[in-house]
C-alpha cells in the first residue's frame, strides 16, 4: 500500500492540510501527519491546533512514496527554513519520487530548484517564486513526479490527483463523487 507524509509547521493552512488527509484516508491510502516543530501539537494559520501522528525525527521518511506540503504563508516559510525537510525534498526529487505542494508551498520547490523546466501552479502572487517553472494558471498541475495546486479552493482536485498517483483515477473519482455528489442526505 502506498504511503505519504504531509508536513505540519506552525502556520500551516488548515483546510489544505485536512482536506488532503481526509480524502486520502477515505481512499484507504496511508498518510501520516508529520510535525517539524518538535511537538506533536501544531498550530495552524487560523489558530487551530492539530495533533500530528509523529515527529519528523521519528518518521520513516525514506519509506514514503510521496511527500506533501500544505500552504499557509507562515507555514510555508517554516517548512522552507527546516533543512532536514528540504534535504529530503531534494532527495525525493532526485530519486523521481513524488512531491506535492499547494498554495504558497510550491514556492519551496521553486526555491530549491526542483521546478526548473517543469509546469507548475501556485497561489496567485507567488508565481515569481516558482523559479524556473513554466507557470500554468490551472487548479492542479502534474508534471512528472511533481503535483502543484493553487490553494484551499482547489484542494479536492489536488487530493484527487494525489489519490490518482498513489492508487488510481477510478478511486479518486469514487471518493470525489462520495463527498461532493452524495445525494443520500
The closest alpha carbon to 42, from 32, 55, 30, belongs to 55
- Residue 34 located in a structural domain: yes
At residue 179, the pLDDT reads: 87
- Residue 86 located in a structural domain: yes
Instruction: Give me the DSSP letters along 20-50.
Output: HHHHHHHTT-EEEEEESSSSSEEE-TTS-EE
- How many structural domains are present in the chain? 1
At residue 183, the pLDDT reads: 55
CATH of the domain at 160: 3.40.50.880
- Residue 185 located in a structural domain: no
Q: Which of 80, 99, 103, 115 does the annotation list as catalytic?
A: 103
Stated pTM of the model: 0.96
Give the range of the structural domain holding residue 102, as residue numbers without chain letter.
Answer: 3-173
The closest alpha carbon to 53, from 8, 89, 16, 84, belongs to 8
The closest alpha carbon to 101, from 164, 135, 140, 148, belongs to 148
- Residue 157 located in a structural domain: yes
Helix (H, G, I), strand (E, B) or coil at 143: strand
Q: Is 155 among the residues known to form the active site?
A: no
At residue 1, the pLDDT reads: 76
Helix (H, G, I), strand (E, B) or coil at 98: strand
At residue 180, the pLDDT reads: 81
Helix (H) or strand (E) holding 164, with range, is helix 155-166
- Residue 158 located in a structural domain: yes
- Residue 19 located in a structural domain: yes
At residue 25, the pLDDT reads: 97
- Residue 178 located in a structural domain: no
- Residue 180 located in a structural domain: no
At residue 19, the pLDDT reads: 97
Helix (H, G, I), strand (E, B) or coil at 63: helix
CA angle (79 as vertex; 77, 84 as ends), nearest 5: 135
The closest alpha carbon to 81, from 129, 36, 33, belongs to 36
- Mean pLDDT of successive 10-residue stretches along the chain, which has 185 residues: 95 97 96 98 97 98 98 97 98 98 98 98 96 98 98 97 97 91 56
Amino acid at each position: 500500500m502506498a504511503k505519504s507524509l504531509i508536513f505540519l509547521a506552525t502556520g500551516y493552512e488548515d483546510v489544505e492540510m485536512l482536506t488532503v488527509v481526509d480524502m486520502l484516508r477515505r481512499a484507504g491510502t496511508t498518510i501520516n501527519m508529520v510535525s517539524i516543530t518538535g511537538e506533536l501539537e501544531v498550530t495552524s494559520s487560523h489558530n487551530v491546533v492539530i495533533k500530528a501522528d509523529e515527529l519528523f525525527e521519528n518518521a520513516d521518511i525514506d519509506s514514503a512514496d510521496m511527500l506533501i506540503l500544505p500552504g499557509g504563508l507562515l507555514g510555508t516559510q517554516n517548512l522552507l527554513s527546516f533543512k532536514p525537510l528540504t534535504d529530503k525534498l531534494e532527495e525525493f526529487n532526485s530519486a523521481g519520487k513524488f512531491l506535492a505542494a499547494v498554495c504558497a508551498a510550491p514556492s519551496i520547490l521553486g526555491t530549491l530548484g526542483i521546478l526548473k523546466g517543469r509546469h507548475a501552479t501556485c497561489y496567485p502572487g507567488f508565481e515569481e517564486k516558482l523559479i524556473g517553472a513554466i507557470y500554468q494558471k490551472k487548479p492542479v498541475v502534474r508534471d512528472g513526479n511533481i503535483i502543484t495546486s493553487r490553494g484551499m479552493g482547489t484542494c479536492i482536485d489536488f487530493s484527487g490527483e494525489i489519490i490518482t498517483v498513489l492508487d488510481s483515477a477510478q478511486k479518486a473519482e469514487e471518493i470525489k463523487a462520495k463527498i461532493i455528489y452524495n445525494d443520500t442526505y
